[in-house]
């Protein structure tokens, strides 16, 4: 495992973040090497860094950057995928039969969810 991966693992272990001046000590590397490792992780978008003070010393608080996973839930109604995604038809939404069927399926799903939660 490379030093970048090790540093990222150490940073991710600390949910509240880890101070940069503590990180290089924990990794047993000098502060210059730690700065280069952090610069690489920042460039790759794997961590965030904000100014902080630790025991009167200026440093940086490092945290893992959480990338948001794409959510396709809003494009689904039951097993039906939104007909508008990738549609090349030049139609009006008000008169699109596929869209109407999909919206009706959304209403049906919502009604079923409400019934299920009422019986719990």
Residue 49 is predicted with a pLDDT of 95
d(CA 35, CA 20) in angstroms, rounded, equals 8
d(CA 64, CA 41) in angstroms, rounded, equals 9
Using 50, 70 and 90 to split pLDDT, how confident is the model at 37? very high
Could you tell me which residue, 10 or 114, shows the higher pLDDT?
A: 10
**Looking only at Cα atoms, what is the longest distance across the chain?**
67
Residue 100 is predicted with a pLDDT of 86
Average pLDDT over residues 34-48: 95
Q: Is the dihedral of CA 98, 72, 107, 109 positive or negative?
A: positive
Average pLDDT over residues 25-49: 94
Average pLDDT over residues 62-69: 83
d(CA 108, CA 86) in angstroms, rounded, equals 24
Average pLDDT over residues 56-85: 80
pTM of this structure? 0.56
Residue 67 is predicted with a pLDDT of 67
């Amino acid at each position: 495992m490379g030093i970048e991966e090790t540093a990222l693992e150490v940073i991710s272990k600390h949910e509240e973040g880890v101070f940069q001046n503590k990180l290089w000590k924990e990794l047993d590397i000098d502060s210059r090497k730690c700065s280069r490792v952090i610069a690489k992780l920042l460039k790759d978008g794997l961590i965030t860094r904000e100014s902080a003070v630790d025991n009167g010393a200026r440093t940086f608080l490092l945290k893992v950057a959480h990338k948001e996973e794409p959510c396709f839930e809003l494009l689904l109604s039951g097993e039906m995928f939104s007909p508008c995604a990738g549609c090349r038809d030049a139609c009006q939404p008000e008169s699109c039969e596929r869209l109407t069927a999909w919206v009706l399926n959304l209403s049906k799903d919502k009604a079923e969810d409400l019934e299920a939660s009422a019986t719990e």
